[in-house]
Chain A
Amino acid sequence: MAEKLEDLNLPNASVLKIIKEALPESVNIGKDARSALSRAASVFILYITSQASNEAQKANRKTLVGQDVITALEELEFDSFVEPLQEVLKEFKDSKGKKASKPKKSNEEENGGKEEVEDENDQEEDV
């Protein structure tokens, strides 16, 4: 849980950097505009999370997975985000696959069944 209200804000420096990347170099960004975008981003996260948790509920899952986020974005008219996110999800799964397969090779014989358990823990560790 968030302990302070500030914990629900995104770091100003990162937000500003992202805005600057999107606009031509010489553009000034008003202080009001920056803080409004930052607030909007926090609200966006909650808005998408709420829809995504609906998706998880439909599938009888307690844990939100990446696909829920993608489906939620699609339903809330952010279709253009779907493709780049599919790629991030694939990248994430690939990197995880590699990480998981390395130790598995050496430990396979001793604890062959452990892999699955570890995976599950990883998904729910942030509770």
Chain B
Amino acid sequence: MGPPRTQLPVSRINTIMKSSSDVEMVSKESSLLMGKATELFIKNLATEAYKTTHNGRKLDYKNLAEIVHSEDKYEFLREIMPKKITVLEFKKIMARKQGNSNEVDKKRGVDFFGFFIVFLRRRRRLQFGR
């Protein structure tokens, strides 16, 4: 019997680990364990997010974001998984904040800000590759 197998390529895990500036050398056993841990991590996060779906038919981004923003142990993911809101919700929030003064200016401001957020998200996505 050979060494235990993982579904994720150990060499890729090794590359990711070594891209961290904190680490000097990475042993084979630690990348192997990290591979297994990553597998468990994906499964746990997917399962927990699945429990928040309404009809259980589809796992969506918003289910993941919900779990990430409610569980302490996932705090490190909050920046890369922002909660998405609809433009309508966003406008409501902004309207509440700004009150009812100056209808025209408000609308323009909201639209610009909405674009800005979309822009930021695209950039973030690019940074991580797809």
Bound pair (A, B): yes
Give the CA-CA distance A36 to B98 in the complex, in Å.
33
> Would A43 and B77 count as touching, CB distance under 8 A?
yes
- A residues sitting closer than 8 Å to B (CB atoms) are 1-2, 5-11, 14-15, 17-19, 21-24, 26-30, 32-33, 35-37, 39-50, 52-54, 56, 62-66, 68-70, 73, 76-78, 80-81, 84-85, 88-89, 91-93, 95-96, 98, 122-127
Q: Which residues of A lie under 8 Å from residue B110 when comparing CB positions?
A: none
Choose the segment among B25-33, B88-96, B112-120 that binds chain A (4+ C-beta atoms closer than 8 Å): B25-33
Q: Report if A63-B25 is in contact (Cβ < 8 Å); known contacts: A68-B30, A92-B4.
A: yes
Contact of A39 among B13, B72, B80 (CB under 8 A): B80
Query: How far apart are B53's CB and chain A's nearest CB, in angstroms?
Result: 8
Q: What is the interface of chain A mostly: helix, strand, loop, or mixed? A: helix
Give the CA-CA distance A54 to B23 in the complex, in Å.
9
Give the CA-CA distance A122 to B80 in the complex, in Å.
35
- Interface residue? B97 (CB, 8 A): no
Query: How far apart are B2's CB and chain A's nearest CB, in angstroms?
Result: 6
Q: Report if A18-B39 is in contact (Cβ < 8 Å); known contacts: A10-B8, A126-B26.
A: yes
Q: Which residues of B lie under 8 Å from residue A56 when comparing CB positions?
A: 23
> Would B20 and A50 count as touching, CB distance under 8 A?
yes
Q: Which residues of B lie under 8 Å from residue A46 when comparing CB positions?
A: 16-17, 19-20
> Would B38 and A45 count as touching, CB distance under 8 A?
yes
Residue of A nearest to B32 (CB): A92
> Would A24 and B14 count as touching, CB distance under 8 A?
no
Residue of B nearest to A29 (CB): B59
Q: Report if A2-B19 is in contact (Cβ < 8 Å); known contacts: A33-B60, A37-B64, A95-B4.
A: yes
Give the CA-CA distance A88 to B16 in the complex, in Å.
20
> Would A95 and B23 count as touching, CB distance under 8 A?
no
